[in-house]
Amino acid sequence: MTELSAAHDAAVTDRSRLAGSAYSSDRDLAARQSLYQWQTPRYDLPGIVAEQLSGVRGRVADVGCGNGKFIQRLRDDRPDLALLGLDIAPGILADLPGPVVVADATRLPLATASVDAALALHMLYHVPDIPQAVRELSRVVARDGVVIASTNSDRDKAELDDLWQRAAGDVLGTGRGPARISLSARFSLEKAPAFLGEEFGRVETIELPGTITVHDPEPVIAHMASYRAWADQHDVPFEATIERARTILVDHIARHGTFEVTCLGGILVCRR
């Protein structure tokens, strides 16, 4: 691991940064989620998760529930389930109807085998000790239960990485600037099965490829700006790079009509 990647890992998992800035409200998370409005095909990710839970009865814990996108859908679709949301950031839980609990994924305040399913959706990459978090998920889920995780591929949104490096290079006058921070790299779709396989004998990966097509730069700019909590990790003036990216996008869309971003995320369904 390089010194830079180690610093990025530390920043992605820093509890004070996560709770106090990145997820102190749902503003930045919502900006990242909203980009998928322009994706083809459109995946109903909460619906896919609900479908995977169709055979589950009883209690479900949403670990790292964030702004409640999944848990609120499950409360609508599956009122028979007893749902508990847990997150490390008190601020993002403020407007989410309970029951919710501020909790650390490596020390879940749940009894052994006390839930019938657990969700860990786009969050395990934020945990400093991923194997311990997986052990905790395994501990709290009943023997015949299911754990559903999700993340992005190492190849996800490569066009945004290229756009950032081009904009950063223009700001720095270096031709091509440093890479932007990746949140999911520590627990990518390619790495996740090995982590989860330490505790679960069956890990099924469901890939969700797509293409985001925008006719206006703002959805992309909002997504890129949502990484502001990690602005100090980019080795380039963050706001200036965002504005340069906006200019590049405006020019690209004027010439080509659209800007496309290739996506690859997925969910992992884990059973013993």
Going by the DSSP 8-state scheme, the letter that residue 179 receives in this structure is P
Please state, as a whole number, how many other Cβ atoms lie within 10 Å of the Cβ of residue 42.
10
Output b/e per residue, 194-232; b: 16+ Cβ within 10 A. ebbeebbeebeeeebebebebeebebbbbbbbbbbbbbe
Residue 8 has pLDDT above 90, yes or no: no
Q: What are phi and psi of 47, to 5 degrees?
A: -65, -40
Task: Provide the residue type at 88 as one letter.
Answer: I
Please state, as a whole number, how many other Cβ atoms lie within 10 Å of the Cβ of residue 237.
14
Would you state the structure tokens that stand for residue 114, as one six-digit string? 């006390």
**CA torsion angle 161 166 168 174 (round to 10):** 130
What are the pLDDT digits (tens) for 77-134?
Answer: 999 999 999 999 999 999 999 899 999 999 999 999 999 999 999 999 999 999 999 9
Q: Are 198 and 272 in contact (CB under 8 A)?
A: no
Question: What pLDDT does 80 receive?
Answer: 97
Question: What pLDDT does 2 receive?
Answer: 60
Which of these, 15, 18, 4, 5, lies nearest to 185 by C-alpha position?
A: 5
> Confidence band (pLDDT; 50, 70, 90) for 3?
low
The pTM for the full model equals: 0.94
- The average confidence (pLDDT) of the chain is 96
CA distance 8 to 172: 20
Domains, the chain, in order of start with CATH, read: 3-271 (3.40.50.150)
Would you state the structure tokens that stand for residue 56, as one six-digit string? 């589950």
Going by the DSSP 8-state scheme, the letter that residue 261 receives in this structure is E
> Confidence band (pLDDT; 50, 70, 90) for 5?
confident
What are the pLDDT digits (tens) for 256-268?
Answer: 999 999 999 999 9
What are the pLDDT digits (tens) for 216-247?
Answer: 999 999 999 999 999 888 788 999 999 999 99
Positive/negative CA dihedral, 136, 138, 139, 145? positive
Residue 4 has pLDDT above 60, yes or no: no
> Confidence band (pLDDT; 50, 70, 90) for 47?
very high
> Rounded to 5 degrees, what angle do the CA atoms 94, 269, 104 make?
35
